[in-house]
Chains A and B, each alone.
Chain A
Amino acid sequence: MEVLTVLVPYILRGLSITLEVTAIALGFGLFFGAILAILRVYGGKILSRVIGYYVTILRALPHILLLLVIYFMIARVVNLSAFWAGSVSLAIISSAYQAEIIRGAIQSVPGGQMMAARSIGMNRFKAIWYVIIPQAFRHAIPPWSNEAAIVIKDSSLVYILGVPEILRQAQYYSARTYKPFTAYVTVAAIYFLLTFITNRGLDAVERRIRIPA
């Protein structure tokens, strides 16, 4: 269908935005999430509790609500574009989920590993860096792959803020051509491809770095 030669490129104009939003959200989410997780596991009782509440609340609220609230809070303080406000909001949301994933991965490393590392004279930091994290990393990949797919799909939410990602492109197209189904099916197909490639890619990574046993 010639519609596809017009439609697909039009929608793909939003693809770079979609990918950027996803990358920012996942990337910062990983950074903040890792810090939160490590602080929670190794930071002592009070810190652990506080972070626990923070993470639980963020994970309990609808993503759309959080997106709107954080966007609103950011907009009051700083003059950020919708793109950045939306990306940062998604990053904050994702960091809570990633904090839990990373925490689970760290705690799945047997306690004896830390004992052994300390027993040869490593301090806590070295033990975490050289012994715990390399092992936790491998455990974290499957749930992280799941989270990556979720963030790709959540990027569609910034549509609400007017960000010109692929869903908004599809909406513009359907408004102009009165072919909404075609437009939305195409967008769905693009999302499907993105999540598919991501999951398969991370599966391959997991297999590659698997520890021989």
Chain B
Amino acid sequence: MSFLDYLQIALPKIWIGLQITFKVSLICLLIGMLIGFPVALARVYGPKWLRWLVTAYVEIFRGTPVLVQLFLIYYGLPQFGITFSAFTAAYLAIGLNSGAYQSEYFRGAIQAISSGQMMAARSIGMTRMQAIRYVIIPQAFRFAIPSWSNEAVSMVKISSIVYLIAVPEMLYVAKVLMSKYYNPMQTYILVGLVYLLVIGAMTLLLNEIERRTTIPGLETARRGS
């Protein structure tokens, strides 16, 4: 069949897959943030035992492949009778993974602004907790936005591995289409283009948000390539 005919069949399915991709990416990003920020605070300001614990979490999840983490949760836990749906396993695995990386970005931001700001806050009589709450956190958050934007884009890329546990996101849809219509090249190119468009749009959008929310004059944290 012609490419255009194929497009008519494939695009609607890819669109549905894309929505799943977005859903998974977004939820994992949020889970990562909910884990990452407290972990970062714990690593900078927490007592020794807590710091040790969360550092272990971060090192382990950054030092092992996300695919292995996914398999551990989805295929491994049933050994102990704990089973998750594919979606839940995906959220857990990628969420925990992202949390480890995001905690590093937040930690960098907190440490970058911490000493001077903390000194200033304490010198006007704030307690440590108050300083953290009213001075450190608001700035750290905005300071971390560029790195966090990188993570958001990464999420879309990483979420594709969940096709292996049959979560019907875009790559899974692509695989199904290929096995049905025997045209891997066309499908791959199509899906590749969609990813490029999505990531391009996201990058532009995030650059704009970054531009509008960063504190004027403050050098922002930049994640290395």
Which residues in A have some Cβ–Cβ distance to B below 8 Å?
Answer: 57, 60-65, 68-69, 72, 97, 100-101, 104, 142-143, 146, 149, 153-154, 156-157, 159-160, 167, 171, 174, 178-185, 187-188, 191-192, 195-196
Contact = CB atoms under 8 A, between A and B. Distances in A.
Contacts of A188: 60, 64, 68-69, 72
B65 A61 contact: no
A156 B225 contact: no
19 contacts: A60-B199, A64-B163, A64-B171, A65-B160, A72-B188, A101-B225, A104-B224, A153-B65, A156-B67, A157-B65, A157-B67, A159-B67, A167-B65, A181-B78, A181-B80, A183-B76, A188-B60, A192-B63, A196-B63
A154 B65 contact: yes
A188 to B, nearest CB: 5
Given A60-B200, A157-B67, A104 B192 contact: no
A179 B75 CA distance: 9
B158 interface: yes
Contact of B64 (A61, A160, A179, A191): A191
A184 B71 contact: yes
Nearest to B225: A100
B160 A187 contact: no
A185 B76 contact: yes
B224 A184 contact: no
Nearest to B175: A68
Nearest to A199: B63
Interface of B: 59-60, 62-69, 71-72, 75-80, 153, 156-158, 160-161, 163-164, 171, 184-185, 188, 191-192, 195-196, 199-200, 224-225
Contact of B76 (A57, A72, A180): A180
Contacts of B75: 174, 180, 184
Contacts of A192: 59-60, 63-64
Contact of B195 (A60, A68, A180): A60
A187 B164 contact: no
A101 B76 CA distance: 36
Contact of A61 (B60, B67, B192, B224): B192
Nearest to A196: B63
B68 A61 contact: no
A181 B72 contact: yes
B76 A184 contact: yes
A102 B1 CA distance: 45
A191 B224 contact: no
A179 B161 contact: no
Nearest to A102: B225
B63 A179 contact: no
Given A167-B71, A184-B72, A191-B68, 7 more contacts: A60-B157, A62-B195, A68-B188, A72-B185, A149-B63, A181-B78, A188-B69
Contact of B157 (A61, A104, A191): A61
A167 B188 CA distance: 25
Contacts of B65: 153-154, 156-157, 167, 191
A184 B188 contact: no
B66 A153 contact: yes
A8 to B, nearest CB: 16
